[in-house]
Amino acid sequence: MSNSQYLTPELRDWVAAQLRNGITREALYQAMLTSGWQPDMAQQALAEHRPFEPPLTLPELPEPVVEPGSLPEPDLSDQRSVLLPDGHRVEILMALQRPRVIVFGNLLSAQECDAMVAAAGARLARSETVAAQREGSEVNSARTSEGMFFERGENEVVARIERRIATLLNWPLRNGEGLQVLRYRVGAEYQPHYDYFDPRHASSKAILERGGQRVATLVMYLNTPTRGGATVFPDIKLDVMAQKGNAVFFSYDRPDPSTLTLHGGAPVVEGEKWVATKWLRQGEFV
């Protein structure tokens, strides 16, 4: 491993691989210096990655039963908050029936938000959208964020948050896509769009074979932008302000504009915005 004047994605991947293989940070640091790394460069590379952690073992929870035609839906019998089995209390800040939109407070702790940002930062790339004229995805001027995906259960924080979401929304963990983390810099936005897959698009057939249609979205705010960056719902004239630890949930029972779930990310005016998005599918996502 030769020294470099800057940390390339390849060098970052190499450092991450060594840590995943169980090499201690101290031993890796010495090996990097021996290979020609400058001390400050080696320290920076190590600071971007946490040491390897063994897979998290969590007690089994009963899987929610999904009836045909049902949608993810929290138990709002309290109307003020939901106390989850892990002892975490989530506040209910707002709830609409049509479209089904719920704003949660304190879904994530400040520490969980910071851990997600730290783990995602070195893996960001320009966000893409589902291609309409061909299979796969593509860069689109309507979406100007940077993003990455975590595998389900990839680390302790991701696994804890996924279980919390599954319990809160009464939806099987296996019916969810991996968490996507996005960063929006000043001026970045995601113009209004729908999250369901348009059956007319060339890419949709292959996507739907991996778990069926999307039926709900949960957008979690990992920081509070200085100005701008709200999640907007143009059809119902609703703006949800990005507040660290809070989240907005909405569901849709069909891939059609009649669901009134047109939404977007307003441009960031000052600072930056970090979000984590969880999309829920009809069936098991593979």
C-alpha 15: how far from chain center: 24
Does 230 lie in the same domain as 110?
A: yes
Structure tokens at 45: 């590379």
Is 53 within a domain?
Answer: no
Does 118 lie in the same domain as 24?
A: no
What's the pLDDT at 1?
43
What number is the average pLDDT over the span 157-164?
A: 95
> Which phi and psi angles does 250 have, rounded to 5°?
-150, 145
Is 210 within a domain?
Answer: yes
Structure tokens at 12: 């970052």
Is 150 within a domain?
Answer: yes
Q: What share of the chain is helix, strand, coil (3-state, %, to 5)?
A: 25, 25, 50
Domain count within the chain: 2
Q: Which residues pair with 181 in a beta bridge?
A: 148, 276
Does 250 lie in the same domain as 180?
A: yes
What's the pLDDT at 5?
45
Does 87 lie in the same domain as 39?
A: no
Does 224 lie in the same domain as 106?
A: yes
pLDDT interval class at 284 (50, 70, 90): very high
Does 21 lie in the same domain as 124?
A: no
CATH number, domain containing residue 106:
2.60.120.620
Give the closest residue to 253 by CA, choosing from 220, 213, 219, 284: 213
Is 77 within a domain?
Answer: no
Q: Mean of the per-residue pLDDT values for the chain?
A: 85
User: Which position has the token pair 């938000």?
Assistant: 113
What's the pLDDT at 65?
75
DSSP codes joined into one string, 5-44:
SS--HHHHHHHHHHHHTT--HHHHHHHHHHTT--HHHHHH
Q: Are 170 and 66 in contact (CB under 8 A)?
A: no
The CA distance from 26 to 241, in Å, is 43
> Which phi and psi angles does 138 have, rounded to 5°?
-155, 155
CB atoms within 10 A of CB 29: 17
Does 255 lie in the same domain as 119?
A: yes
The CA distance from 274 to 116, in Å, is 9
What's the pLDDT at 61?
62
Position with higher pLDDT, 15 vs 196: 196
Position with higher pLDDT, 29 vs 284: 284
Does 149 lie in the same domain as 256?
A: yes
Is 258 within a domain?
Answer: yes
Contacts of 18-24 with C-beta under 8 Å, sequence gap 24+, read 19/49, 19/50, 19/51, 19/52, 20/52, 21/52, 22/52, 23/52, 24/51
- Cα separations (Å) of 247 from 6, 67, 182, 205? 36, 25, 14, 30
The CA distance from 181 to 145, in Å, is 10
Structural domain containing residue 16: 9-48
Does 44 lie in the same domain as 86?
A: no
Query: Angle CA(184)–CA(232)–CA(195) in degrees, nearest 5?
Result: 80
Q: pLDDT tens across 81-124, in order?
A: 999 988 899 999 999 999 999 999 999 999 999 999 999 988 88
Instruction: Choose the most confident range, by mean pLDDT, from 2-6, 125-129, 142-146.
Output: 142-146
What percent of the chain stands above pLDDT 90? 62
Does 119 lie in the same domain as 16?
A: no
Is 66 within a domain?
Answer: no
What's the pLDDT at 72?
97
Structure tokens at 85: 């089995």
The CA distance from 199 to 201, in Å, is 6
Q: pLDDT tens across 213-229, in order?
A: 999 999 999 999 999 99
Write down the pTM of the prediction. 0.75
Does 110 lie in the same domain as 23?
A: no
Does 267 lie in the same domain as 194?
A: yes
Is 221 within a domain?
Answer: yes
Is 68 within a domain?
Answer: no
Rg (CA), the chain: 20
